[in-house]
Amino acid sequence: MEKQDRFYRDTWVEVDLDSISANVTAVKNHLPRNVDIIAVVKANAYGHGDVQVARAALEAGAVYLAVAFMDEAIALRKKGITAPILVLGASRPEDAGTAASLDITLTIFQKTWLERAQECFSKDARLRVHLKVDTGMGRIGVRSLEELTEIEQLLQQDQRFIFEGIFTHFATADELDTSYFQQQFTAFKEMVDGLSCKPKYVHCSNSAAAIRFKEAAFNAVRLGIAMYGLSPSLEMEREIPFPLHEAFSLKTRVVHVKKLHKGDKVSYGATYESCGEEWIGTLPIGYADGWIRRLSGQEVLVGGVRVPIVGRICMDQCMVRLPEYVPIGTEVTLIGKQKGRNISINEIAAKLETINYEVPCIIASRVPRIYKRKGKTIDIKNYLI
Ligand code: PMH
């Protein structure tokens, strides 16, 4: 890593933007030409960095961005993103005017929301909206054709709304059993057919559906996890017909090395005891960084060799047992590749008994993110499209 004067700790995330671009391109090439990519960059781009991933995705051909909340959309606008942004989750109807003024697209998911927004909205406001249909995910969305028709009529009568899209979200597109997916897909088609006029964007596919079910692509897909180089599930990993490239690595450096003697203890609770003469290294990363205590015993890469974390993980530090002395400053890979060896996000997810989505999301914002293009750290301030 090249030294940057922005941060002073030896723990950092590296995000390979070439991987993001390659993954977007691969999915785009996999789909029919008329299908647009909506890059899902909510939750700080699944922990990777919202504006950097957004720019890389747009550069690779995505035409729309999607986030969870208005705050995330506003953050992107403040960072100079002018591309269309869809807020997937619920916004307050009173905030519709703010969204309109920033050209942020909101999701409509109930008739009462629309009526309330109409009351709060100024005469000359223009708001892009996508209508969310709940076909079986059970979160937000319109569930009946009746409500859909009522909302469509209200939108048609009110010039302040640009009815730009309709969408739904699948609960099981990543599972090998496709029956529930088919049920949702059929329900969505019925709802779309029930509209008197189709909006510009009709979209239902997440990464799993985009990769597996081209017939469900309509004219846009919402690409999240696959853009980050991860499989939507272990079940469907083998079904992905092109390589995905993991963009996220987590690194640190050894800040202290010592030799322990038989019986010496390590960390809180003194739960780890040295069996003999052992080299113990200290790493400046801990549970406040999202490297949580459950990862005690997990291996990390030092000099291309797997070494275990020993003792309890502290708030800001943890210890590893080294096969031999290593100099202070030796680079350590907690997630990612080192000298031909790899610790994948899936490995960490398995250790934590969770899904890969969660892993980059829980690496705390106090861990700085640095960005790579062609293997080199890029100056993000000068990285504009
Ligand atoms: N569209 C919506 C509405 C979503 O909630 C998500 C991901 C995506 C698209 C992208 O899905 P993908 O990452 O599988 O491609 N949402 C979530 C979630 O709420 N929890 O995990 C993933």
Closest CA relative to residue 206, chosen from 223, 188, 191: 223
Question: Is the pLDDT score of 1 beyond 80?
Answer: no
Q: What angle do CA 206, 208, 209 make, to 5 degrees?
A: 70
Q: Using CA positions, which residue lies closest to atom 10 of ligand 1?
A: 224
Q: CA 240 to CA 232: how far, in whole Å?
A: 10
Q: Which residues contact 159 (CB under 8 A, 6 or more apart)?
A: none
385 pLDDT band, cuts 50/70/90, is very low
Is residue 204 in contact with ligand 1, taking CB distance under 6 Å? no
CB distance 40 to ligand 1 below 6 Å: yes
Cα–Cα distance between 165 and 175 in angstroms, integer?
27
Which tokens is 114 given?
């629309």
Average pLDDT (142-146) is 97
pLDDT tens string 264-298: 999 999 999 999 999 999 999 999 999 999 999 99
**Predicted pLDDT at 163:** 98
pTM here is: 0.96
**Mean per-residue pLDDT of the chain:** 96
CA-only gyration radius of the chain, Å: 24
**Of residues 380 and 373, more confidently modeled:** 373
Q: What's the whole-number mean pLDDT along residues 203-228?
A: 98
The one-letter amino acid at 301: L
Whole-angstrom distance, CA of residue 93 vs CA of residue 90: 9
Catalytic residues: 42, 268
Both tokens of 239, joined, read 């079904």
Distance (Å) from CA 171 to ligand 1 centroid: 9
Reduced to 3 states (helix: H, G, I; strand: E, B; else coil), residue 128 is strand
Q: Is residue 289 within 8 Å of residue 316, measured between CB atoms? A: yes
Q: How many CB atoms lie within 10 A of CB 183?
A: 14
Residue with tokens 């301030």: 381
- The response to whether residue 232 sits with its C-beta less than 6 Å from ligand 1 reads yes
CB atoms within 10 A of CB 70: 21
Q: Are 80 and 100 within 8 A, CB to CB?
A: no
Q: Is 212 in the pocket of ligand 1 (CB under 6 A)?
A: no
380 pLDDT tier (thresholds 50, 70, 90): low
Residue 100: CB partners within 8 Å, gap ≥ 6? 121, 125, 126, 127, 160
Model confidence at 202: pLDDT above 90? yes
Given ligand 1 and candidates 40, 140, 227, 233, which is best to mutate, with the most ligand atoms within 8 Å of its CB? 40
Residue 76's pLDDT band, with cuts at 50, 70 and 90, is very high
The confidence band for 5, taking pLDDT boundaries of 50, 70 and 90, is: low
Cβ atoms of 280 and 322 within 8 Å: the answer is yes
Q: What are phi and psi of 26, to 5 degrees?
A: -60, -45
Ligand 1 pocket residue status of 42, Cβ below 6 Å: no
Tens of pLDDT along 219-242? 999 999 999 999 999 999 999 999
Residue with tokens 């909006």: 199
Ligand 1: centre distance to CA 85 (Å): 15
Ligand 1 site, residue 52, Cβ cutoff 6 A? no
pLDDT > 90: percent of the chain: 95
Looking at residue 2, its pLDDT comes to: 47
Candidate of 88, 206, 362 to mutate for ligand 1, largest count of ligand atoms within 8 Å of Cβ: 206
Q: What is the pLDDT of residue 6?
A: 66
Q: For 89-129, how does the pLDDT look when each residue is reduced to its tens digit (9 = 90+)?
A: 999 999 999 999 999 999 999 999 999 999 998 989 999 99
